[in-house]
Amino acid sequence: MGKQVLLIEDEPNIIEAISFILSRDGWSVATHANGETAMDAVHRHAPDALVLDVMLPGRSGYDILQDLRANPATADIPVLMLTARGQKKDREVADRLGATRFMTKPFSNAEVLTVLREITGGG
């Protein structure tokens, strides 16, 4: 059984794509589509890594990241931020709030896998 990753994203097609890529690579994938209840999902799944979209219904990915880093239980979870906006200031905000890595949509499938492996310590 591979490591577990939690995908927080609201576009159904993108969920489908990322889930497919990751599970084919041996990850166990959980998904969650709502910003407001995302923190509960993190606590419930206690994942090895998090893929977090910025534009979420209910609550933005930045807010969720801030909460994650503020809570000792989740402060160390590696987080890969995804955004479709990809302007410079978006990246800066993500860095400041403590995102492990930051990627702009559309992304390369291979790159997502590489980055996830890196931030979870090889595997």
Partner 1 sequence: MVGFNLLIFVSLAYVGFLFLVAFWGDRQARTGHGGWLRAPIIYTLSLSIYCTAWTFYGAVGYAARSGLEFVTIYLGPTLVMVGWWWVLRKLVRIGRAQRITSIADLISSRYGKSNLLGVLVTLLAVIGTTPYIALQLQSVVLSFSVFAQQGGEGLADPEATAFWVAVGLAAFTVLFGTRNLDANERHHGVVTAIAVEAVVKLVALLAVGIFVVWGVSGGPADIVRTIEASPIDRWDLQGPRWATMIFLSAAAFLTLPRMFQVLVVENVDEKQLATASWAFPFYMFLMSLFVVPIAVVGLEILPDGNPDLFVLTVPLHFEQGGLAMLTFLGGFSSATSMVIVAAIALSTMVSNHIVMPIWLSARSGGAAMSGDVRQVVLLSRRMSIAGVLGLGWLYYHLSGGSEALASIGLISFAGVAQVLPSMIGGLFWRGATRVGAALGLTVGFAVWAYALFLPSFGDAGMMTARVLAEGPWGIGWLRPQAFFGVEGMDPVVHAIFWSMVLNTGCFVLGSLLSFPRPIERLQGAQFVNVFEHSRTAQGWTRGNAESEDLLVMAQRIMGASQAQALFQEESARQGKDGYLPDTTPDFLRILERELSGSVGAATAHAMVGQIVGGAAVSVDDLMAVADETQQILEYSSQLEAKSEELARTARQLQEANEKLTSLSIQKDAFLSQISHELRTPMTSIRAFSEILKEGEMAVEDTRKYSGIIQDEAIRLTRLLDDLLDLSVLEAGQVTLNVQSGNLTDVLDRAVSAASTVRDGRPLSIKRTPSREDVALRTDTDRLAQVFINLIANASKYCDSAKPRLAISVVEQGGRRHVDFVDNGTGIPPESQVVIFEKFSRLSDQQKAGGAGLGLAICREIMSKLGGGITYLPGQGGAAFRVTLPL
Judged by CB, which is closer to partner 1: 5, or 77?
A: 5
Taking CA atoms, 114 is separated from 20, 37, 119, in Å, by 15, 28, 9
**10 interacts with partner 1 by CB under 8 A:** yes
Q: Is the peptide bond before 106 cis (omega within 30 degrees of 0)?
A: yes
**11 interacts with partner 1 by CB under 8 A:** yes
Q: Which residues inside 75-94 make contact with partner 1, applying CB under 8 A?
A: 84-87
**55 interacts with partner 1 by CB under 8 A:** yes
CB of 65 to partner 1, least distance (A): 18
Phi first, then psi, for residue 81 (nearest 5°) are -90, 140
